[in-house]
Structure 1
């Protein structure tokens, strides 16, 4: 099966693209389209996280759960929205923590593409969603694929900083070799939980301290 994805990831994940579950994902999405369902993000952006952050460039991983399910929002990067779209509440809280942690100005844009281009893999566990129906594609096989992505990063790289926000992301810790990677955990930045351990986590400065200690270029979090 020919999957349109950045070449380094295509090589790393080639075995996954041949598996039955991935074939089922493709068939499901084709069926949804045939039924006239609107799927987010658009097809050319489903693998945007991989296209913007080639495998060799990955130095930080932020895990999300489900793409945004409103028009114009999702573009394949977790927590990020397309240019011109108002930043959602969780992203606003991420910006507030950034400001307190590293003194950055609150960005006007919700587009996190510059993070992705500087080595931050912004990975959702599910890569698609039906319009207006959160978690509607949570059972179609995407987690098998994205779990494999996390394992590949863990197995084939060293010294990656994993930022796990909330229980869903923290449950993925079992896929990560903590003896050679760095795991930062905090509450989810959602308004329902941000004041229970996300605010004050200082993950942005901590990640850069870890990268600097390894001789890696720190992330420019300022957008």
Structure 2
């Protein structure tokens, strides 16, 4: 999702920002400004954004599905599940929900919604309020909140 400074954010990331602004912006009086897309600030706070498939052929969505990436990302989710406690998993889209079967829901928190893609965001991503819900979960657990506005 993240892009270097000077690169236009992809549509899915713009939809994520729109949801953050809608979910938290009015309450905090802040917003993510257009043209930004570098999420290094999130990474420094412990946020991991992980697609089930990490590469595709240019302009061919889904071109590398069912290859080595899915096994790799299953292993990443499995490692996070087994080695950490109280993780908030935000599962966006059908492929992400499938990864939810690898998560011990008695030890972690799982929030599910449609993918932020322009093709599906209006089917349950917009209005999911996952960012304020994550803040509430972390607060209840005595953990530091994520500054979702930390976008360069």
Runs of 4+ aligned residues of structure 1 deviating over 2 Å after TM superposition are 126-140
The structure with the largest strand share of the pair is 1
Which residue among 89, 95, 101 is the counterpart of 1:168?
95
SS for the counterpart of 1:189 is: coil
Cross-structure match for 1:137: 64
Which residue among 85, 95, 106 is the counterpart of 2:32?
106
Measured against aligned partners, the alpha-carbon deviations of 1:155-176 in whole angstroms (never above 9, x if no partner) come to 1111000001111111111100
Cross-structure match for 2:8: 86
Query: In the aligned structure 1, how far is the partner of 2:119 from the partner of 2:54?
Result: 24
With the length of structure 1 as denominator, give the TM-score of the two structures.
Answer: 0.61
SS for the counterpart of 2:77 is: helix
Instruction: Identify unmatched segments of 5+ residues in structure 2.
Output: none
SS for the counterpart of 1:122 is: coil
Cross-structure match for 1:221: 148
With the length of structure 2 as denominator, give the TM-score of the two structures.
Answer: 0.88
Measured against aligned partners, the alpha-carbon deviations of 1:129-185 in whole angstroms (never above 9, x if no partner) come to 344443333343111111011011111111000001111111111100001100001
Cross-structure match for 1:208: 135
Task: Say if 2:68 is the partner of 1:146.
Answer: no
Cross-structure match for 2:17: 95
Query: Displacement, 1:123?
Result: 1.4
Bigger radius of gyration among the two: 1
SS for the counterpart of 2:49 is: strand
SS for the counterpart of 1:125 is: coil
Aligned pair in 2 of structure 1 residues 140, 183: CA closer, same or farther (>3 Å)?
Answer: same
Measured against aligned partners, the alpha-carbon deviations of 1:173-199 in whole angstroms (never above 9, x if no partner) come to 110000110000111111121111111
Matches within 5 A, 1:30-41: none
Matches within 5 A, 1:189-208: 189-208=116-135
Instruction: Identify unmatched segments of 5+ residues in structure 1.
Output: 1-78
Which residue among 182, 187, 198 is the counterpart of 2:114?
187
Measured against aligned partners, the alpha-carbon deviations of 1:58-110 in whole angstroms (never above 9, x if no partner) come to xxxxxxxxxxxxxxxxxxxxx22222111111111111111111113133311
Query: In the aligned structure 1, how far is the partner of 2:96 from the partner of 2:103?
Result: 12
Query: In the aligned structure 1, how far is the partner of 2:108 from the partner of 2:115?
Result: 21
Aligned pair in 2 of structure 1 residues 126, 85: CA closer, same or farther (>3 Å)?
Answer: same
